[in-house]
Structure 1
Amino acid sequence: MSHPPQQPHGQYMPNGRPRPGAPTHVPDAPAFQSQPRFRDYGNPRAYDTSVRPTSGLTAARFGPAQIQRPAQAQPQSAWATQTRRVQQVEQEATKAPTTSILVWIALVMLGFALLLVLGYFFLDFVVTASSSPIWWPVAAFLALMSLIVISLVMLLADRWDPQPIPLLIIAIFWGAAVSAFGSYWINTFNSLIVYAITGSEPITNFFGPVISAPLVEESTKGLGLLLLLILARRYFNGPLDGLIYGALIGGGFAFTENIIYYTRGFEGAGVGGLVFLVMLRGVGNIFGHAIYTSATGIIMGYVARKWGTIPTFIAFIPALIPGMLMHAAWNLSATILPGGLVSLLLMYGTKAVIALVWLIVIGLLVWDESRLTRVRLGDYANQGWLTHEEVNMLATWSGRREGRRWAAQIGAKPIMKRFIRESADLASIRQRLLADGANPKVVETERQLLGRLTSNRQQLLAHAR
């Protein structure tokens, strides 16, 4: 005789939602929560991890991560009342570390590597060029302007859940030093091999930009994304994160590559040649390498958010393909199209459309990030860590503006900014726990951030008295 299947214990599933048939009210729930306690914030289908295979590449690394519940009722929301006086509960809140010592070591090493790479290309210009060495810093400055534009765009895209600045700098340094220098020599070696085999200069000129450059350059840039995934998995948790890191790696790569092209253009055609290349590469194709590498980052970030860490490493090679294809298509068009104004307008007009689409994608990913933040903070609100009013304040642009404005009136704007930033980080950690399972280190980070959340709420209460 068969027995009916045993129902899992507990009222809540790992995703924070009530189990079927479970009561919506939990005994000893915080008094400030209105009934019913549970509010359904939805669950984006693209990131739904509730149905996972028990084995295989996309299986969770750890067991299901049950959402943590507060040990005691949380005080009323200062944001909801703005004037209520509540006795502050003493609670230790440990600040979760943002970056490890390995991040700082990598930053210093890559910074030193960048100085060596720039020094090498400067000495190469001094030794081989007939022009004055003063033109090399001019070319470097013009290349830097494009990098600054890319960096500013990425900082705007990163406003919702800002990444640690050291990680953003590592991305730039990797692209400008390791990727650019490594690709320079590997591409040179590949072209020499092809010429030695074929003896044909046209074949070599085709092979270099159309085949070797996309394969080599996108691979070396992509390795920077793997480095960031290893150094700071906590901050590589979605397609927007991957796009930002990838674009900065591509921008750093273009910085060094533009210096090489600008100095060659000046040496070959003087100031006119330099200005022409600046207009083509630094203006018309300013986002080229950023777009290619960000495509890899978007795919890796999506896999990390949906399926976890191990599948992200497995997806690395396939994630390179879109960037390689776009890179190869661009170089192919520059190789086969005849010269002239019409060809330039066709190429750079198409590139402008691609750049516009890329900027639209950035906007969509920022919206997607805010939506997921609201869903995951809603999980915590349903457990009593927050009020639903606070979720709306923390997870919408308008709510954040109003929250900062109110906090400024009571002298607590820095606290509110920290509250918003750490809440977004907490939502990201929650999604990672759903994807990877209950990794003990990540669970501890979640506990620390929940302590910080409680501390931030209490400090706001103290200022609201």
Structure 2
Amino acid sequence: MSLPGGPTTPVPSSVLAPLVPPRVRPGAGAVVVVVLLGVFGLGAVGLVGMLVGPPAFPAAVALALVPLVGVLAAVLWVDRWEPEPWQALGVAFGWGASVSVLVALVANTTAQTVLLAAGVDELRAGAWTATFVAPVVEEGIKGIGVLVLFLVWRRYVDGPVDGVVYAATVAAGFAFVENVLYFGQAVGEAAVLGDDGGVAVVFVLRAVMSPFAHVLFTAAVGLALGLSVRRGRAAWVGAFPLGLVVAMLLHGLWNGSASLGDGMGFLVLYVVVQVPLFLGTVALVVWLRHREAVVVRTRLAEYAAAGWFAPHEVQMLASLRLRRTARRWAARSGGPSGRRAMRAFQTAASRLAHQRQRAATGRDRLWVARQDEAALLVELSRLRRELVGLR
């Protein structure tokens, strides 16, 4: 494959047997997962709709979509080097929006009811539940979802960036439904009072000041699991509880500042702790994302030395800007199918680079690494032939 004016198609120094990976069809386990998420999803929608009330529900959903779009856009931006399977991301979002929400609603409501029955006043019972119960329950059930995704789609998790992507997607689903609940309650109160000021305040607090709050908390679990893949196959056993504790502490600190302190205390903590923590996390993710580019460039250069890639292909594949240029060229030359082929070529090349990185660091068994490598090289050769035909 070559862009206009580029070198000719590379010729590998060795030819592999035509190993083609078998088509993966949804198994019984996948069907069960989809059905369960659907049932939990319907339950979550029904429960939240009942709590919010039908008149306020549409407006609440519309308001909650605003921060959701921003969060998902950020997740996709982080995930650009080696996009995760859309099925896995769908399950992640579904877990956060259904299972996590239902468990949290039941557990938090039960805890508050128990405190009230024990004679604790309503204001204090709400504050204690938000500070000490909700962080444990919510991060616990979200964390279990991240762990399940990590174990099921483990071969796609190459490092901390992938772990953060899965965790952030689970958190995005949870935050979306939680925002529907909060916005719905505010809209309902506004209808009774005839004043929209409360809706504006809730929107600023949740959609402007803290759209990434849940993402930040749960990302600690994803980061820990992602880092564990570089320590050995069983390292997640110790990494998961460590990440979970950090997520719970961050969540508890956030809720406690809002529930136990006054408004000024919350603002001080927000500026002094939460904003720097968020910016530090962003800087860490950007650096980790840059490390992915280094892996792609280094490992694909090794394949180029063996003749599997031309130098200009490695240059293109190691730059997001040049990747966009290549996709535009493919779209002009071959329309939507050409663009899809170029995107598939880029994704397969990234997976090949990360597969070699896993093999080089001993994280894959040799026979598995060779089989994956052969399948990816066959797929890349097929896509290259398709792209060469666009010239």
Q: What range is the shorter-chain TM-score in?
A: 0.7 to 0.9
Aligned-residue offset at 1:332: 1.6
Which one-letter code corresponds to 2:377 in the other structure?
L
* In 1: Cα distance, 2:11 partner to 2:222 partner: 47
| 408 and 186 in structure 1: CA distance in 2 versus 1, 3 angstrom threshold | closer
Aligned-residue offset at 1:79: 6.3
Aligned to 1:272: 197
Aligned to 2:342: 416
Aligned-residue offset at 1:176: 1.0
SS in structure 2 opposite 1:315?
Answer: helix
| 90 and 366 in structure 1: CA distance in 2 versus 1, 3 angstrom threshold | closer
Q: Is the 8 A contact 1:284 1:352 kept in 2?
A: no
2:355 matched to 1:432?
Answer: no
TM-score scaled to structure 1, two decimals? 0.72
Aligned to 1:298: 223
Aligned to 2:96: 175
Aligned to 2:256: 332
2:200 matched to 1:282?
Answer: no
| One of 135, 147, 154 as aligned partner of 2:56 | 135
Q: Is the 8 A contact 1:99 1:232 kept in 2?
A: no
Q: Is the 8 A contact 2:7 2:310 kept in 1?
A: no
Alignment of 1:200-279 (within 5 A): 204-268=125-189, 270=193, 271-279=196-204
Q: Is the 8 A contact 1:103 1:166 kept in 2?
A: no
Aligned to 1:42: none
| One of 74, 96, 113 as aligned partner of 2:40 | 113
* In 2: Cα distance, 1:244 partner to 1:106 partner: 20
Provide structure 2 residue ranges, at least 5 long, that are not aligned to the other structure: none
SS in structure 1 opposite 2:211?
Answer: coil
- Deviation per residue, 1:9-44 (Å, 9 max, x gap): xxxxxxxxxxxxxxxxxxxxxxxxxxxxxxxxxxxx
Aligned-residue offset at 1:198: 6.7
Report the count of equivalent residues: 379
2:218 matched to 1:319?
Answer: no
RMSD: 3.2
2:283 matched to 1:360?
Answer: yes
Q: Is the 8 A contact 1:426 1:449 kept in 2?
A: yes
- Deviation per residue, 1:123-162 (Å, 9 max, x gap): 3444xxxxxx311221122122221221111112222211
* In 2: Cα distance, 1:90 partner to 1:316 partner: 39
| 262 and 364 in structure 1: CA distance in 2 versus 1, 3 angstrom threshold | same
Aligned-residue offset at 1:115: 2.1
SS in structure 2 opposite 1:178?
Answer: helix
Aligned to 1:370: 293
- Bigger drift between 179-188 and 106-115 goes to 106-115
Q: Is the 8 A contact 2:19 2:374 kept in 1?
A: no
Provide structure 1 residue ranges, at least 5 long, that are not aligned to the other structure: 1-76, 127-132
- Bigger drift between 200-209 and 306-315 goes to 200-209
- Deviation per residue, 1:278-318 (Å, 9 max, x gap): 221122111110111112111211112x1244222432111
Which one-letter code corresponds to 1:92 in the other structure?
P
Aligned to 1:448: 375
Which one-letter code corresponds to 2:206 in the other structure?
R
Q: Is the 8 A contact 1:307 1:435 kept in 2?
A: no
Q: Is the 8 A contact 1:107 1:169 kept in 2?
A: no
SS in structure 1 opposite 2:262?
Answer: coil
SS in structure 1 opposite 2:134?
Answer: helix
* In 2: Cα distance, 1:85 partner to 1:264 partner: 61
Which one-letter code corresponds to 1:346 in the other structure?
V
2:300 matched to 1:381?
Answer: no
* In 1: Cα distance, 2:258 partner to 2:250 partner: 13
Larger radius of gyration: 1
- Bigger drift between 295-304 and 399-408 goes to 399-408
| 87 and 337 in structure 1: CA distance in 2 versus 1, 3 angstrom threshold | closer
Q: Is the 8 A contact 1:243 1:298 kept in 2?
A: yes
TM-score scaled to structure 2, two decimals? 0.84
Q: Which has the higher helix share?
A: 2
- Deviation per residue, 1:50-75 (Å, 9 max, x gap): xxxxxxxxxxxxxxxxxxxxxxxxxx
| One of 336, 346, 367 as aligned partner of 2:268 | 346
Alignment of 1:122-161 (within 5 A): 122-126=49-53, 133-161=54-82
